[in-house]
Chain A
Amino acid sequence: DAKTTQPNSMESNEEEPVHLPCNHSTISGTDYIHWYRQLPSQGPEYVIHGLTSNVNNRMASLAIAEDRKSSTLILHRATLRDAAVYYCIPWRQGGSEKLVFGKGMKLTVNP
């Protein structure tokens, strides 16, 4: 399985954009990049995923580097509700289909 590296924590201010980085230098060509988040005392929540090109949805944007060794989750306007632990997870189609979580990165949003 590909390894990921995320900062342990980040802080942002409310209503400002937030860029959450993830390094996945050992990713293979068929690994999708998934992002999940976990709010306090809740189960994880799917945020976004992509393979090669940048992706957008109502929650966030995902920017994937051209060499796919890193990606950035972009929250365009952080809210207090975005305070959570964010997980960047490579996922391989056609493999064991398992979603393996690391320790994630804690995002604090200041009012």
Chain B
Amino acid sequence: NAGVTQTPKFQVLKTGQSMTLQCAQDMNHEYMSWYRQDPGMGLRLIHYSVGAGITDQGEVPNGYNVSRSTTEDFPLRLLSAAPSQTSVYFCASSYYLPRGGYYGYTFGSGTRLTVV
């Protein structure tokens, strides 16, 4: 049981390049989300998904796309990288409790992205 796996752990991009940050979970969790964390700041929600085929925007969605074709995977795509997207990116997942609500979220170890 690997939990939430994020790849790559580190990445350097040039301005204008595109890439996909991968996130996979093996816990059959319905809920998945992406956050970014800038130095000295709290986490900000980018996009989230409450199940396969369903995604929605968070606080800072501009410049990012997501899709959720399977329960396990929730990739985050940067279409045209900008220096302002230099950050640490965290993926999280959770499951729906029988009597309502979600249990505590499990976070991945993060992807440190630098855009030059």
On whether A46 and B104 interact (CB within 8 A), knowing A96-B56, A98-B48, A99-B45, the answer reads yes
- Find out whether the CB atom of A97 lies under 8 angstroms from the CB atom of B31: yes
Interface-side segment among A13-21, A37-45, A62-70, A76-84: A37-45
Asked whether A103 and B101 contact (CB < 8 A) given A43-B109, A97-B31, the answer is no
- Output the least CB separation between B116 and chain A (Å): 22
9 additional A-B residue pairs with CB within 8 Å, beyond A43-B107, A44-B105, A100-B59: A32-B101, A34-B104, A43-B109, A44-B92, A49-B104, A93-B101, A97-B102, A98-B33, A100-B45
Once the chains bind, are B100 and A94 in contact (CB under 8 Å)? yes
B115 part of interface (Cβ distance < 8 Å):
no
Cβ contacts B51-94/A at 8 Å (1 or 0 each): 00000101100000000000000000000000000000010100
Residues of B within 8 A of A (CB): 31, 33, 35, 41-45, 48, 50, 56, 58-59, 90, 92, 100-110
| Residues A29-59 near B (CB distance < 8 A) | 32, 34, 36, 42-49
CB proximity to B under 8 Å, residues A68-111? 87, 91, 93-94, 96-104
Interface size on A, residues (CB 8 A): 24
The reply to whether B107 and A45 form a contact with Cβ atoms under 8 Å apart is: yes
Query: Within 8 Å CB of B108, what residues of A?
Result: 43
B21 to chain A, nearest CB (A): 14
Closest to A104 in B: B42
Q: Report Cα–Cα, A36/B107, bound state, in Å.
A: 11
Q: 27 A-B pairs, CB-CB below 8 angstroms?
A: A32-B101, A36-B105, A42-B110, A43-B90, A43-B107, A43-B108, A44-B90, A44-B105, A45-B107, A46-B103, A46-B104, A47-B104, A48-B104, A93-B100, A93-B102, A97-B31, A97-B48, A97-B102, A98-B33, A98-B45, A98-B48, A98-B58, A99-B33, A99-B45, A101-B45, A102-B42, A103-B42
